[in-house]
Structure 1
């Protein structure tokens, strides 16, 4: 998937930049930037694509997105509807310590932070008490400026580097040299999939959206997403099914149909392959985790 090189406005003038965004839906084009980003979801839910990982995000989630890591956050369909009061809000902390120099980052006191920043290139989900602390810290750092903001961030990163509540999402790192600029076609295909995954869409349909032959499209899609078209589509569909299993009182058959599966046996096989659980076991496991957290 060819992500956009996204240049953060005025980041060159600040070592640490705070973005507080409030829109109908999140920026949903695949992109990347040289800055590391800590993204706090204040309000909203939908599907994320981070590196090669696909999942569901919701209010309160926090992600650490490393330098040059391709990603997008696409709000659920309801956020795109007319006359809706739904909002998508986040606080993002964007920073690059390149200007500080290798000597400073090479000091023993920075080893933990340097290791964390390398780890973040796989995209991190912050959980547990670390998430709660980081949520409040994001609100505080937005009120600081200049050197105070930099020092506050360094202390925050030092604490995170010691946390055991960071989960890597992507299986691979992405290097700048392997990240092309052109994203028009792939974002057209992503939009097509997200808008039509509940329908019976085919490889030929997707290739037509990209205006490529089927063979050329398969190479193109696999090269830039590290997934085949069917893998990507199934993960989007199963992610939707997981959300419905937890939040909606529908039968497994109804959820399978709504997720684009018209063969219940095939749905069950895909669900087990992607999540590691049967639909019923997935619900039980989620309920147990929720009860423990409460």
Structure 2
């Protein structure tokens, strides 16, 4: 499945864009863009693809997609049958993370919004959004100027206070997708990303790069990353495997090898543990997307 770059830049000199889309079906392209995207699904159902996440979407879903994170909304088959009774309707807001200026969100009063923007790099789903939040997003379409900006900031503030948020894409997929652009990566993380698919990476060799004993490094790594070293490496490998399955026509055995696994049984086990599905099931879900894209 080919990944497309879409130019979502706003040409009207506004700091962000708000579009009310009404189509027979949503755009069937696996794509990314430098802008963040806040979407409200007003009508239609289907399957949502965000990074390596594959989930159903429905009316009332509120999703925040981070910059450069690949995604697509694929409507159910019935939406492609030329039925005049079905519509795919959504409100999409596109904005850069510095849409208010480079240092604006660094102010104390807006650091919570900056934190939300940082979290959005994985893709976020706001479960059971309040009616008031949905109404604010819908009303944004008709506003202009200062009122529009203030309303949007108010929406972002509401999202930071939402209690039930689901992270969509795995950290492993995200890290691999962005690895080439991350100049602040520590030496140990840089080593992991350069060598994760070359076979076994021992805790001892990575610890030596940090000039620490294996036990001290292990404790420090888990404290900083929230998971053990082995869990982290497996997450990166499976994230990369998802990228290979998404964007290349590789079979499972090759993907297993390319991701650093010499044992396909272990690969299958780790894949299901991290993604919640087997590699075969994952391919089947994406196969539908590929066929539709080719039409």
- TM superposition score category, shorter chain reference: 0.5 to 0.7
Could you tell me how far apart the structure 2 residues matched to 1:13 and 1:86 are? 34
Gaps of at least 5 residues in structure 2 are 182-244, 261-273, 288-295
Q: Structure 1 residues 99, 12: closer, same or farther in 2, change over 3 A?
A: farther
Q: Structure 1 residues 111, 75: closer, same or farther in 2, change over 3 A?
A: same
Aligned partner of 1:126 in structure 2 is 126
Instruction: Return the offset for 1:10.
Output: 2.6
Instruction: Return the offset for 1:219.
Output: 7.9
Instruction: Return the offset for 1:54.
Output: 0.3
Matches within 5 A, 1:282-293: none
So what's the TM-score if we normalise by structure 2?
0.60
Matches within 5 A, 1:26-45: 26-45=26-45
Could you tell me how far apart the structure 2 residues matched to 1:149 and 1:169 are? 28
Q: Structure 1 residues 101, 47: closer, same or farther in 2, change over 3 A?
A: same
* Aligned residue pair count: 206
Aligned partner of 2:49 in structure 1 is 49
Given that residues 11 and 17 in structure 1 are in contact (C-alpha distance below 8 angstroms), is that contact kept between their aligned partners in structure 2? no
Given that residues 40 and 135 in structure 1 are in contact (C-alpha distance below 8 angstroms), is that contact kept between their aligned partners in structure 2? yes
Aligned partner of 1:152 in structure 2 is 151
Given that residues 221 and 229 in structure 1 are in contact (C-alpha distance below 8 angstroms), is that contact kept between their aligned partners in structure 2? no
> Which SS does the other structure have where 2:142 is aligned?
coil
Matches within 5 A, 1:265-280: none
Q: Structure 1 residues 20, 29: closer, same or farther in 2, change over 3 A?
A: same
Could you tell me how far apart the structure 2 residues matched to 1:62 and 1:221 are? 35
Instruction: Return the offset for 1:220.
Output: 12
1:78 aligns with 2:78: yes
Given that residues 38 and 65 in structure 2 are in contact (C-alpha distance below 8 angstroms), is that contact kept between their aligned partners in structure 1? yes
Instruction: Return the offset for 1:42.
Output: 0.8
Could you tell me how far apart the structure 1 residues matched to 2:149 and 2:27 are? 26
- Between 1 and 2, higher relative CO (CA 8 Å, sep ≥ 6) is seen in 1
Given that residues 218 and 229 in structure 1 are in contact (C-alpha distance below 8 angstroms), is that contact kept between their aligned partners in structure 2? no
Instruction: Return the offset for 1:41.
Output: 0.8
Q: Structure 1 residues 106, 16: closer, same or farther in 2, change over 3 A?
A: same
Q: Which runs of 4 or more aligned residues in structure 1 lie more than 4 Å from their structure 2 counterparts after TM superposition?
A: 174-179, 212-223, 226-229, 234-237
Q: Structure 1 residues 135, 178: closer, same or farther in 2, change over 3 A?
A: farther
Instruction: Return the offset for 1:165.
Output: 1.9
Q: Structure 1 residues 147, 54: closer, same or farther in 2, change over 3 A?
A: same
Bigger mean CA offset, 114-123 vs 132-141: 132-141
> Which SS does the other structure have where 2:153 is aligned?
helix
Instruction: Return the offset for 1:146.
Output: 1.9
Gaps of at least 5 residues in structure 1 are 180-206, 238-294
Aligned partner of 1:24 in structure 2 is 24
> Which SS does the other structure have where 2:40 is aligned?
strand
